[in-house]
Amino acid sequence: MSISTVRVLYIDDEENNLQAFKASFRRQYEIYTAISAIEGLRILENVDIHVIIADQKMPNTTGVEFFKSISNTFPDPIRILLTGYTDIEALADAINHGDIYRYITKPWNDLELHNSIKNAYDAYRSKIDLRNKITELQKTNDELNRFIYSISHELRAPLVSVIGIINLVKMEGLYQSSGEYWGLIETCSNKLDYYIQKTLQYYKNSKNLLDHTEINFKELIQDLIDLYSYADKDTPFNVNIKQDVVFVGDMFRIEVILGNLISNAIKYQKSGEPNKTVNIDVEVRDYEALININDNGMGILKEHLEKIFMQFFKSKTHHGSGLGLFIVKEALNK
């Protein structure tokens, strides 16, 4: 955009000042003038203004008050305040709240005001460019997430077939017929399925949609225990659930949180522990559910406690994807 198409609105209750401003800058900018804040607001509603200049001392309102009144409806134009007197408190308040970009004393110096308008327009362009780039980045990120989600779904179909074939091999007693090969295939398939499931959880959790559903914690937790204990039937669960009231919440995210924690409680048991155990206590109240999950597994090193919710963090003793607890934290935040 050339400098001649920079649109400047000047609001002042003194006609002489408006005429002088127009005479000085009409060849450099596209000038709009208003004799009052109300007239200035009408212009803003009909013209895409880049820079607004307002006199501080006007009848019925001040320049600072006018800028504050349009901060939500017209956030983009850059604001310059003209003041013929020093009102430090009003200026400090306006600057601190981001309502003005710069203030200039009256009578103004043409060169100073010209440079201020140019700099203000540069700030305007930077703001718009940043917003456009953020929008473009969000669009790209959404497309990437949709692509990952689609690919993950496509990968799951043949993977489920492979796992189904392994189960048939077990049913027919042929699991040991080829040495360790079937076991290696099963291990790799389960690991790939785990990563795909975590990817799908991450994608779904990143969406802002909330699912308000009636939740029966007894049924939900039992289903999750059955789902995740297939690989280790030796870990006993002590489940204590007190739910005498209806609980409505985000079913998907609560399931993600509990599923990851129950899965970890099973996965990270001590191999030589003779009395493996996982305790799950839930107390449902009118407006909250208190959930406690603990186990006597290998635990977490103290130096890792501040890192366990970081994406892709893996400790030397825990061989996971580094996504589980990150997803739990994200789900809790949402």
Same fold, 3-108 and 208-334: no
Query: Is beta strand 278-284 parallel, antiparallel or unpaired with respect to 237-243?
Result: parallel
55 Cβ neighbours under 8 A, 6+ residues apart: 11, 12, 13, 14, 17, 63, 82, 83, 84, 106
CA–CA dist 280, 231 (Å, integer): 19
Tokens for 153, please give them: 């779904």
Q: Are 200 and 241 in contact (CB under 8 A)?
A: no
CA–CA dist 231, 132 (Å, integer): 49
pLDDT tens across the length of the chain (334 residues)? 555 589 999 999 999 999 999 999 989 999 999 999 999 999 999 999 999 999 988 888 888 889 888 988 999 999 998 887 656 666 666 666 657 888 888 888 899 999 999 999 999 999 999 999 999 998 888 888 778 777 877 887 888 888 888 888 888 888 888 788 888 888 888 778 877 877 777 777 777 667 788 999 999 999 888 888 766 677 889 999 999 999 998 888 898 899 889 988 888 888 777 888 899 999 999 889 999 999 988 888 787 788 877 776 776 665 666 677 888 888 888 8
CATH architecture for the domain at 3-108: 3-Layer(aba) Sandwich (3.40)
CA–CA dist 255, 13 (Å, integer): 63
Q: Is 212 helix (H, G, I), strand (E, B) or coil?
A: strand
What per-residue confidence (pLDDT) applies to 94? 64
Q: Are 25 and 8 in contact (CB under 8 A)?
A: yes
The residue extents of the domains of the chain are 3-108, 208-334
What per-residue confidence (pLDDT) applies to 31? 94
Q: Which amino acid makes up residue 57?
A: K
Residue the block writes with tokens 């059955």: 226
Q: Are 223 and 254 in contact (CB under 8 A)?
A: no
CATH number of the domain located at residue range(s) 208-334 in this protein: 3.30.565.10
Tally of CB atoms within 10 A around 52: 28
> What is the value of pTM for the model shown?
0.55
CA angle 293, 295, 298 (to 5 degrees): 130
User: Residue 298: CA atoms inside 13 Å, Cβ hemisphere, count?
Assistant: 14
